A = this chain, B = another copy of it.
Amino acid sequence: MLQTLPQHLQIAKVLHSELEKVEVIFSRQLESDLAFVNELTEHVDRYRGKMLRPTLLLLTAMAVEGDPCDGAAISARHRTIATVLEMIHMATLVHDDVLDEADFRRRGATISALRGNEMAVMLGDYLISNAFHLCSTEGESSLNELIGSVTNTVCEGELLQLSNRENLDLSIETYFEILRRKTAVLVGACCRLGSVISNAPDEVVDAADRFGSNLGIAFQIQDDLLDLLGDRDTVGKSTGRDFDTGKLTLPILLYLESASPSQRERVLGVFEARDESALRRLLVESGAVASAYAQAEQLVEDAKHELRVFPASSGRELLYSLADAVVTRSS
A49 touches B (CB below 8 Å): no
A229 touches B (CB below 8 Å): no
Interface mask (A151-192 → B, CB under 8 Å = 1, otherwise 0): 110111011101100000000000000000000000000000
B34 touches A156 (CB 8 A): yes
- A133 partner residues in chain B, CB cutoff 8 A: 144-145, 148-149, 151-152
A155 touches B122 (CB 8 A): yes
Partner of A121, one of B98, B126, B138, B144: B98
- With A133-B145, A144-B135, A163-B36 known as contacts, the answer to whether A158 contacts B128 (CB < 8 A) is no
CB distance from A135 to the nearest CB of B (A): 7
How long is the Cα–Cα vector from A119 to B163 in the complex, in angstroms?
Answer: 8
How long is the Cα–Cα vector from A125 to B134 in the complex, in angstroms?
Answer: 18
Q: Which residue of B lies closest to A41 (CB)?
A: B159
Partner of A144, one of B98, B117, B136, B152: B136
- A128 partner residues in chain B, CB cutoff 8 A: 125, 128-129
CB distance from A141 to the nearest CB of B (A): 4
A122 touches B159 (CB 8 A): yes
CB distance from A164 to the nearest CB of B (A): 9
How long is the Cα–Cα vector from A124 to B124 in the complex, in angstroms?
Answer: 11
A129 touches B148 (CB 8 A): yes
Q: How many residues of A contact B (CB 8 A)?
A: 45
A196 touches B (CB below 8 Å): no
Q: Which residue of B lies closest to A148 (CB)?
A: B133
A118 touches B162 (CB 8 A): yes
Number of copies: 2
Q: Which residue of B lies closest to A99 (CB)?
A: B118
How long is the Cα–Cα vector from A163 to B40 in the complex, in angstroms?
Answer: 11
A36 touches B98 (CB 8 A): no
- A118 partner residues in chain B, CB cutoff 8 A: 98-99, 162
How long is the Cα–Cα vector from A140 to B142 in the complex, in angstroms?
Answer: 9
A32 touches B (CB below 8 Å): yes
- With A133-B149, A144-B141 known as contacts, the answer to whether A123 contacts B36 (CB < 8 A) is no
A238 touches B (CB below 8 Å): no
Q: Which residue of B lies closest to A133 (CB)?
A: B148
27 contacts between A and B (CB under 8 A): A36-B159, A36-B160, A37-B159, A37-B160, A98-B98, A118-B162, A119-B159, A122-B155, A122-B158, A124-B125, A125-B128, A126-B152, A126-B156, A128-B128, A129-B148, A130-B152, A132-B144, A132-B151, A133-B145, A133-B149, A133-B152, A134-B148, A136-B142, A139-B141, A139-B142, A140-B141, A141-B144
A interface residues, Cβ below 8 angstroms from B: 32, 34, 36-37, 40, 95, 98-99, 117-119, 121-126, 128-130, 132-142, 144-145, 148-149, 151-152, 154-156, 158-160, 162-163
Knowing that A130-B152, A132-B151, A139-B142 are A-B contacts, what are 9 other residue pairs whose CB atoms are under 8 Å apart, sorted by A's residue number?
A36-B160, A36-B163, A99-B121, A99-B122, A122-B159, A129-B151, A132-B144, A133-B148, A141-B144
